[in-house]
Amino acid sequence: MIPRIAKGLTAKMINRKTIEASMAEVYQYGLELILSTALTTLSIIGIACLVDAFQYGLLYFSISIPLRRSEERRVGKECARLCVCG
């Protein structure tokens, strides 16, 4: 579902000349990440509200976001090292 939506949005952006067709795959991948993150975030907030535990949803985000960011930095540094050395 998400790849299909991202593909449609990318096609619209190409038709409107917002992006170049040669970069379509990159934009489609980025849109898939954005849509997936948005859907996950809304799901967590929605479930937390449904079970009357909004504070636990916020606690989840306050822990998971810093962990995710630190992992992204670590992977980015490793990737940069491989690109330079390899």
- Kindly give, in sequence order, each residue whose CB lies less than 8 Å from that of residue 63, ignoring residues fewer than 6 positions away: none
Instruction: Supply 2's token pair.
Output: 């998400």
Q: What is the pLDDT of residues 8-17, one digit of tens each?
A: 999 999 999 9
pLDDT at 85: 59
Whole-structure pTM value: 0.70
pLDDT band at 64 (very low <50, low <70, confident <90, very high): confident
